[in-house]
Amino acid sequence: MRRTCHGAALALLVLLAAGCSGQEGSASPAEPPALGGPAPSLAVPPDEAMDHVEEPIAVRLATQVRDEGLTLEHIDCPRWSGRLPAELVCDGYVDGVLGRVRVELTRGAGGSVEYDAWLDDGVIASRSLVQRLRSEGYTDVDCGDTPAYPARVGLRLVCRVAEGGAASYVVATVTDRSGAVEIQDY
């Protein structure tokens, strides 16, 4: 005999929908949403100090990410062969979040080594999100205490805002790995 659960599943769905309809006997008023998003896994930098290749890259990259509201804690790159041009993919520890850092090494004038580095996987700085919301006219913006999140497509960050004196919530949804977000009312 073949059993199906379609009837039971449909009944459960109807009961759940009725329980959420706001009818008498429904749950108490909704709690305010938790600010921010799910806590990211804490990325702990390695104990070893950065080497002579990593240190100058880290100094330059720290300035770049600071402008985005982030703090670079450490860079960990694979051993460089010494050949030029070269590209390295390094681990960047940014506000407790692990991001991928791309480094291009080229030969400069007089045989010097020049480099360019950037955070390849986006990391979302809560501080930058707060600044963006303020620039869009919101006041009293609070996106929680977590300083940064990995830019995972679909990640939702909730912020409490005020607009025209009225408090409400917005949600920022990550739309691509570079850290772009779409802002909507909660």
The Cα–Cα gap between 117 and 102 comes to 6
pLDDT value for 29 = 60
* Residue range 121-152, pLDDT digits in tens: 778 999 999 999 999 999 999 999 999 999 99
Mean pLDDT (the chain, rounded): 84
Contact in structure between 55 and 30 (CB atoms under 8 Å) = no
Q: Which residue has the tokens 């390849």?
A: 120
Counting residues of the chain whose pLDDT is more than 90, the rounded percentage is: 69
Domain coordinates in residue numbering, the chain:
54-120, 122-186
Q: Kindly report the CA angle at 53 between 52 and 56, in degrees rounded to 5?
A: 85
- Where are any strands of DSSP class E within the chain? 72-76, 86-94, 97-107, 113-119, 123-125, 139-142, 148-150, 156-163, 166-174, 181-185
Q: Which of 103-107, 136-140, 176-180 has the lowest mean pLDDT?
A: 176-180
Question: How far from 111 is each of 55, 79, 81, 108, CA to CA, in Å?
Answer: 20, 20, 16, 6
Q: Is the Cα torsion angle 142, 145, 148, 151 positive or negative in sign? A: negative
Cα–chain center distance at 59? 22
The Cα–Cα gap between 159 and 103 comes to 34
Question: How far from 164 is each of 25, 74, 85, 168, CA to CA, in Å?
Answer: 34, 42, 54, 11
Which of 32, 8, 49 shows the shortest CA–CA distance to 142? 32
DSSP 42: P
Q: What's the whole-model pTM score?
A: 0.74
* Residue range 53-94, pLDDT digits in tens: 999 999 999 999 998 889 999 999 999 999 999 999 999 999
Residue type, 117: A
